[in-house]
Structure 1
């Protein structure tokens, strides 16, 4: 058999695959850094390719455009961890008090760690029509779906109300934490946790409250 035959084809193919994956990763990392420092809008494809030292053609071999990078980073970094957070909340099975407070504290840490990604993703979503899958309504639905035990406590209209209540809590937490992390809402962490714990305890009907708690109290 020829020395340059099938025996060498597989190693060469494997090397090309690795090089392609490395280039893709370099482009993604460069884009993330530029989005964080310059903003999503001002960053151009040329900025990204110049940072890596490749051509525009190479960029388009890996990504359809800037929006695709945002989607990939958001899904792999933000949403993966976000959904896990809400699975952990669901695993508390209605517990409030210290377990819920610890969960909220960890959630705040999430916004601290991912501040830059959340900031440029929000900018991208606001200006790029190709990011409908990252709309607030779709993300909130996915978070709620990660809590089947909580939603399973109700049926019918009560379940719809429970999901709406949960999604409003998530939206409130996200909006507030992003403002707080950016320094736009100067309040001490412990004070913030006290208020959030009160809101989430009542909102989730934690510590034993269930379907009956949804019934409005009699005024007679």
Structure 2
């Protein structure tokens, strides 16, 4: 067999298979349900959003809904993941890749995080409502997503400390990452979920950046 023929065969084998029309239709149906779900959750909250509301908004049948999801809780989690969690993870990718870690660069990043939370506050409000009042199914699904989310953040913080000469320490890095994330997350909750933004945003970001610098560059004390 010629080299050209061999390369051609390899290219054919490695070429990704195009999804069928049926699969593309299925993907599009799921996308419409998630988008409609997000709109309904933002408008009505989690408890007042039903399968019927979502299917009507998506122009889909109940049968189509249950082909993709078992409950509105699953739609909520997927909507939150796409709208908020995936984008937060992108932010942490950017944070971990910063060439220069300074209070100013951290402050700018924190302002980006706050702006994202402000943009997604309505779906986050529904997500928190679902966790507190939506039953164990919502809580279990949310816990799985958040566990993976926090694990990814810990990985990024560990990488940042390793770049600065600290040996990996899973327990220590996890504690530092949780303190950093919880500090910023609770502030955003106070501002955008509870509607209590009464302090200067830039000043708050500056103070948080100072705290984060200490958590990122201080050595472990015995």
Normalised to the residue count of structure 1, the TM-score between the two structures is: 0.77
Within 5 Å, give how 1:132-147 maps onto structure 2.
132-135=140-143, 136-147=146-157
Does residue 1:79 correspond to 2:85, yes or no? yes
Q: Indicate the SS of the match to 1:184.
A: coil
TM-superposition CA deviations, 1:161-209 (whole Å, max 9, x none): 232022111011011112213431311212212221222122222xxx4
The separation in 1 between residues aligned to 2:207 and 2:59, in whole angstroms, is 49
TM-superposition CA deviations, 1:22-72 (whole Å, max 9, x none): 332222222111111111111111222233343322211222211221222
Q: Partner of 1:111 in structure 2?
A: 117
Q: Indicate the SS of the match to 2:43.
A: helix
Give aligned pairs, total: 195
Q: Which moved more, 1:35-44 or 1:56-65?
A: 56-65
Flag the structure with larger Rg: 1
The separation in 1 between residues aligned to 2:209 and 2:158, in whole angstroms, is 21
Cα separation, partners in 2 of 1:19 and 1:102, compared to 1, 3 Å? same
Does residue 1:30 correspond to 2:36, yes or no? yes
Q: Indicate the SS of the match to 1:146.
A: helix
Alignment gaps of 5+ in structure 2: 1-19
Q: Tell whether the 8 Å contact from 2:35 to 2:79 is kept in structure 1 after alignment.
A: no
Q: Tell whether the 8 Å contact from 2:73 to 2:130 is kept in structure 1 after alignment.
A: yes
- Alignment match of 2:129 (pick from 123, 127, 132): 123
Cα separation, partners in 2 of 1:94 and 1:24, compared to 1, 3 Å? same
Cα separation, partners in 2 of 1:137 and 1:61, compared to 1, 3 Å? closer
Alignment gaps of 5+ in structure 1: 1-12
Q: Tell whether the 8 Å contact from 2:107 to 2:209 is kept in structure 1 after alignment.
A: yes
Q: Tell whether the 8 Å contact from 2:36 to 2:57 is kept in structure 1 after alignment.
A: yes
The separation in 2 between residues aligned to 1:45 and 1:155, in whole angstroms, is 46
The separation in 2 between residues aligned to 1:68 and 1:24, in whole angstroms, is 12
The separation in 1 between residues aligned to 2:157 and 2:111, in whole angstroms, is 19
- Alignment match of 1:160 (pick from 171, 175, 185): 171
The separation in 2 between residues aligned to 1:86 and 1:36, in whole angstroms, is 25
